[in-house]
Chain A
Amino acid sequence: MTVTTNHTGISNRLLDLVPAAPAQQSRKDFTSDQEVRWCPGCGDYAILATVQGFLPELGVARENIAFISGIGCSSRFPYYLQTYGMHSIHGRAPAIATGLATSRPDLSVWVVTGDGDALSIGGNHLLHALRRNVNLKILMFNNRIYGLTKGQYSPTSEVGKITKSTPFGSLDRPYNPVSLAIGAEATFVGRSIDSDRAHLTSVLRAAAEHPGTAFVEIFQNCNIFNDGAFDTLKDRSSRDDVTLKLAHGEPLVFGAEGDKAIRRADDGSLEVVPAGSPGVLVHDATATDPSQSFALSRLTGDTHGVTPIGIFRDVDAPTYDEALNTQISDARARQGEGDLMSLISGGETWTID
């Protein structure tokens, strides 16, 4: 297979193994003929439009892109993209995608999952995909509710959530997906919002440029079962005051007037202080040590009045698939291609005439 460098700005050592598109592709090239069947008003529509709009930017041949999903509303995503795709079973998409990505370095493999799919039934697979650093881009749509099963609380629902399965309020504490991913030592962790197309595109681009597992949490509104979950981050009047847009190398400053900033408190956690205070931190997504990224992930609207979005962490590390494929090429370089008949006749043999 001929591999040529793609013709856009997106590139990394693994994406360069994927054949380039022969010509400029458009959003239409990535739109399948299937009727989209999410509820009217669902945040998934906006994410789909953004992804379809972004994929041409990858510059790789459409047939070398694969989307793997699990079960849930978000997991219908692959049907609407004119790429290779698999709508698999609940929670298992990271495992299936690991086999595909590891055996086919010439593919760009994406996983689409939700908060229930990724963090509940498939929690183990997510953790291990992140730990191994397989070359996957994992997009987790977080609507903080179970939509497809019609409205039970999810592992990201707030405590006390009244749902069909918790009429007296949910009891378990929610996961913070970004904290979880950084805790699992993911090499790329980002967060964006369904309705902010420009920001989401920038995070997808950074994820695509990352060689290895990229985990992207996308806040997604379920207008049927959990409407308005992210309204404070979307409302024009409030959003600038409660959203910290992370930018690598820039001071951690936010607010409509740029009047608030982040610095380290005495106990090592982060705190919100007036801009201009001494000790305001500069964001470093590439720091090998994940401590500051993790501390950033602990900032939430409920606890600190601010929610960071953007790239929390983006560090270069060996990937599982590269390492495995290198073991194979090294073995072949050292010992030559395997010969079946000499393998099976190895060990002690004897001949009877």
Chain B
Amino acid sequence: MSEQVRERETRRLDRVVVRFAGDSGDGMQLTGEQFTSETATFGNDLSTLPDFPAEIRAPAGTPAGVSGFQLHFSDHDILTPGDAPDVLVAMNPAALKANLKDLPPGANLIVNTDAFTGGNLKKAGYATDPLTDGTLDPYLVHRVPLTSMTINAVHAAEGTGSAVNKKEAERAKNMFALGLMSWLYHRPTEGTVGFLEKKFAKRPEIAAANIAAFRAGFNYGETTESFTVTYEVAPARMRSGTYRRITGNLALSYGLIAAGELTGLPVFLGSYPITPASDILHELSKHKRFGVRTFQAEDEIAGIGAALGASFGGSLGITTTSGPGVALKSETIGLAVSLELPLVIVDIQRGGPSTGLPTKTEQADLLQAMFGRNGEAPVPIVAPRSPGDCFDAAVEAARLATKYRTPVFLLSDGYLANGSEPWLLPRREELPDLTVAFTTEPNHTGPKGPEFWPYLRDPETLARPWAVPGTPGLEHRIGGIEKSDGQGNISYDPANHDRMVRLRAAKVAGIANDIPPLEVEDPSGQARVLVLGWGSTYGPIAAGCRRVRAKGLHVAQAHLRHLNPFPANTGEILRSYDKVLIPEMNLGQLRTLIRAEFLVDAIGYNQVRGLPFKAAELAGVLEDVINQ
């Protein structure tokens, strides 16, 4: 630490967007996560966007291998991870090259000058050194020899220097960057020190090296003359209650465990690893004490097959996957429609078609979920709107599945899965009672006495009885062949098939009466344009609406959580506006459904770049539609 601590200006900001970028082996995700954790502890509202390549270690030093993490934090409630960074940390030339286009002039840029070697510049595709050729003139550049300072700091640290080699010391450079950023934004640091001690508990010398690098980064900020200003963002005024930071996949995992407890059914997850859904399998596999059974199957088909088999036995059967996996599971989903057994199919959507963009987000599986099966095979669809909302959406999917004895799609996406936000913890008494009652008695009297008819429906919900193996007297056989209405025996009768197809459709359509009506937000009450969305676009759409309203324009927003069936009042709402705009991260899938169902000539705004919409972008589109 320097003897002289200079007086510096501390500037108060209402919100900041920071981005860490480096090689995919540089630990940028961990750095971003930890900065986010400090920020959450401080009490800001926040939203994060990790962005990483599909390859575990893409070619080092190339733009293709760059991994980034963006965090937006504020003193008020925010809806998106931010459009453009106010500060970019670039760990090497490739990270600079891949991210500079997003950096507005005047923004802070912290570069690791040690990484700007001839070889690295070449790998990044720079003909000349951007540090010296004027490329960086528009920015507030902070040149930090991050690697060498990290190595020096680690080796100077007491008891550490000799215990770690140069390579291990160098790998702590992300913690130096984190320390510097923590200083620049007045973040609390105790959590990070504790985190490092815990993470490297088995290798205390590595923990010490990382802590030394983290502290050195913090102290460097204090002593360098490069930074004349530091920034403060006051805690946000949020609803009272207890919060934690949560990603969509974690919230979704907890929602599934909660659904098991609320329904009283043991959770059975049959799954096959696939990006970006695997974290749900990882998470659920930890919670054996909840009676959660996880089964890593030989393929996607076996994953859903085992889940359906468990549902037949009275478990809450769940399968988790992404779009390519849904394609493989389609036949089994059709079987579940025909068997009328509960099943939750979680699709964490990613860029498609085919393998597409495994680590990037998209909303292009809606029509697959809606129609991707042979025959008339309706399946309810639920979509969360934010990372924390994945919890409630999972509970809702399980509610519909068990109450209506049907497979249900839960359509999240890569952005929600890996993005995070503060989550107001639900209280136990706020969670719904979803207790499931199995059928234990015969439900029909035949010529020879009491009988069990597996397809004799509840007149209100049209759900069939769920009698599980082990129930005496209710032995029955079900299958994918058409069944006679009520009795459930094989039937090829034409009129019966027509009736059964219509009954299954009516059962799913009837859910419209069991879900909340579509709500519209229109603060002025004068809007003539409605913007309609679904899923993860909620944040950017709401942020876009705020921006245009701040300019005195009027716009109404509605967001669908249920996509099949739509809430009962959807048509009425759509028809009460002059124009309906539907932004989607696909080429117009909800728009297709809306036009078909309601004959409303909605306008689409469609982008499939693998990234969420930006608030400014949507604000511009909204203004155009309003002013046209």
Interface status of A128 (Cβ within 8 A of chain B): yes
Interface status of B287 (Cβ within 8 A of chain A): yes
Would you call B470 and A351 a contact (CB within 8 A)? Answer: no
- Mask, B249-289, CB within 8 Å of A = 1, is 00000100110010000101010000000000000000111
Chain A residues within 8 Å of chain B by Cβ, number: 64
Tell me the chain A residues, 121-146 only, with Cβ under 8 Å from chain B: 124-125, 127-128
Q: With A and B bound together, what is the CA distance between A327 and B310 in angstroms? A: 18
* Contact residue among B310, B470, B473 (Cβ-Cβ distance under 8 Å from A102): B310
Interface status of B307 (Cβ within 8 A of chain A): yes
- Most chain B CB within 10 A, of A68, A82, A349, is at A349
Tell me the chain B residues, 225-264 only, with Cβ under 8 Å from chain A: 238-245, 254, 257-258, 261
Q: With A and B bound together, what is the CA distance between A258 and B479 in angstroms? A: 48
Would you call B335 and A61 a contact (CB within 8 A)? Answer: no
Q: With A and B bound together, what is the CA distance between A335 and B289 in angstroms? A: 7
Which secondary structure characterizes the binding site on chain B? mixed
Interface status of A26 (Cβ within 8 A of chain B): no
Q: Which residue of A lies closest to B481 (CB)?
A: A87
Least CB distance, B128 to chain A, in whole angstroms = 45
Would you call A96 and B489 a contact (CB within 8 A)? Answer: no
Would you call A351 and B428 a contact (CB within 8 A)? Answer: no
Least CB distance, B37 to chain A, in whole angstroms = 6
Known contacts A95-B301, A332-B289: does B312 contact A100 (CB below 8 Å)?
A: yes
Known contacts A63-B471, A343-B287: does B305 contact A125 (CB below 8 Å)?
A: yes
Interface status of B41 (Cβ within 8 A of chain A): yes
Chain B residues whose CB sits within 8 angstroms of the CB of A87 once the complex forms: 477-481
Would you call A99 and B258 a contact (CB within 8 A)? Answer: no
Interface status of A73 (Cβ within 8 A of chain B): no
Least CB distance, A161 to chain B, in whole angstroms = 28
Chain B residues whose CB sits within 8 angstroms of the CB of A99 once the complex forms: 268, 270, 295, 305-313, 315, 317
Q: Which residue of A lies closest to B37 (CB)?
A: A348
Chain A residues whose CB sits within 8 angstroms of the CB of B332 once the complex forms: 89, 92
Would you call A350 and B41 a contact (CB within 8 A)? Answer: yes
Interface status of A98 (Cβ within 8 A of chain B): yes
Tell me the chain B residues, 24-51 only, with Cβ under 8 Å from chain A: 37, 40-41, 43
Least CB distance, A105 to chain B, in whole angstroms = 10
Would you call B475 and A84 a contact (CB within 8 A)? Answer: yes
Interface status of A324 (Cβ within 8 A of chain B): yes
Chain B residues whose CB sits within 8 angstroms of the CB of A345 once the complex forms: 242, 244, 425
Interface status of B201 (Cβ within 8 A of chain A): no
* Contact residue among A34, A65, A341 (Cβ-Cβ distance under 8 Å from B489): A34
* Contact residue among A61, A88, A324, A336 (Cβ-Cβ distance under 8 Å from B289): A336
Tell me the chain A residues, 73-131 only, with Cβ under 8 Å from chain B: 78-79, 81-89, 92, 94-104, 106-107, 124-125, 127-128
Would you call A125 and B312 a contact (CB within 8 A)? Answer: no
Known contacts A96-B305, A352-B239: does B490 contact A79 (CB below 8 Å)?
A: yes
Interface status of A64 (Cβ within 8 A of chain B): yes
Chain B residues whose CB sits within 8 angstroms of the CB of A278 once the complex forms: none
Interface status of A238 (Cβ within 8 A of chain B): no
Would you call B254 and A344 a contact (CB within 8 A)? Answer: yes
Known contacts A89-B331, A95-B305: does B314 contact A351 (CB below 8 Å)?
A: no
Would you call A88 and B335 a contact (CB within 8 A)? Answer: yes
Interface status of B118 (Cβ within 8 A of chain A): no
- Mask, B296-330, CB within 8 Å of A = 1, is 01110110011111111111010000000000000
Tell me the chain A residues, 296-353 only, with Cβ under 8 Å from chain B: 324, 327-328, 330-332, 334-338, 340-341, 343-353
Would you call A128 and B302 a contact (CB within 8 A)? Answer: yes
Q: With A and B bound together, what is the CA distance between A287 and B331 in angstroms? A: 40
Interface status of A24 (Cβ within 8 A of chain B): no
Q: With A and B bound together, what is the CA distance between A19 and B391 in angstroms? A: 38
Q: Which residue of A lies closest to B244 (CB)?
A: A349
Would you call A1 and B470 a contact (CB within 8 A)? Answer: yes
Chain B residues whose CB sits within 8 angstroms of the CB of A82 once the complex forms: 475
* Contact residue among B238, B476, B477 (Cβ-Cβ distance under 8 Å from A352): B238
Least CB distance, B306 to chain A, in whole angstroms = 3
Would you call A63 and B295 a contact (CB within 8 A)? Answer: no
Would you call A340 and B258 a contact (CB within 8 A)? Answer: yes
Interface status of B339 (Cβ within 8 A of chain A): yes
Interface status of B191 (Cβ within 8 A of chain A): yes
Tell me the chain A residues, 34-55 only, with Cβ under 8 Å from chain B: 34
Tell me the chain B residues, 462-486 only, with Cβ under 8 Å from chain A: 469-481
Q: With A and B bound together, what is the CA distance between A346 and B308 in angstroms? A: 31
Least CB distance, A321 to chain B, in whole angstroms = 9
* Contact residue among A124, A332, A334 (Cβ-Cβ distance under 8 Å from B299): A124
Chain B residues whose CB sits within 8 angstroms of the CB of A65 once the complex forms: 469
Interface status of A191 (Cβ within 8 A of chain B): no
Q: Which residue of A lies closest to B243 (CB)?
A: A350
Would you call A103 and B293 a contact (CB within 8 A)? Answer: yes
Q: With A and B bound together, what is the CA distance between A175 and B245 in angstroms? A: 54
Interface status of B291 (Cβ within 8 A of chain A): yes
Least CB distance, A338 to chain B, in whole angstroms = 3
Q: With A and B bound together, what is the CA distance between A65 and B476 in angstroms? A: 11
* Contact residue among A62, A81, A86 (Cβ-Cβ distance under 8 Å from B312): A86
Q: With A and B bound together, what is the CA distance between A94 and B301 in angstroms? A: 11
Q: With A and B bound together, what is the CA distance between A122 and B313 in angstroms? A: 22
Least CB distance, A109 to chain B, in whole angstroms = 9
Interface status of A66 (Cβ within 8 A of chain B): yes
Would you call A88 and B298 a contact (CB within 8 A)? Answer: no
Least CB distance, A121 to chain B, in whole angstroms = 10
Would you call A63 and B470 a contact (CB within 8 A)? Answer: yes
- Most chain B CB within 10 A, of A65, A87, A101, A335, is at A87
* Contact residue among B241, B310, B391 (Cβ-Cβ distance under 8 Å from A351): B241
Chain A residues whose CB sits within 8 angstroms of the CB of B475 once the complex forms: 62-63, 82-84
Chain A residues whose CB sits within 8 angstroms of the CB of B315 once the complex forms: 99, 103
Would you call B477 and A349 a contact (CB within 8 A)? Answer: no
Interface status of B290 (Cβ within 8 A of chain A): yes
Least CB distance, B610 to chain A, in whole angstroms = 29
Q: With A and B bound together, what is the CA distance between A191 and B311 in angstroms? A: 32
What are 22 sample pairs from A and B whose C-beta atoms fall under 8 A apart? Answer: A61-B470, A78-B477, A79-B477, A87-B479, A88-B335, A92-B331, A95-B302, A95-B306, A96-B308, A97-B309, A98-B305, A98-B309, A100-B469, A103-B266, A127-B298, A328-B293, A332-B289, A336-B289, A338-B257, A338-B289, A349-B244, A351-B241
Closest 8 CB pairs of A and B: A87-B479, A99-B309, A99-B306, A95-B305, A338-B290, A95-B302, A331-B288, A96-B309
Known contacts A86-B309, A86-B339, A125-B301, then 9 further A-B pairs from the complex at CB < 8 Å, ordered by chain A residue: A1-B470, A62-B472, A63-B474, A87-B480, A88-B480, A103-B309, A103-B314, A344-B426, A347-B245
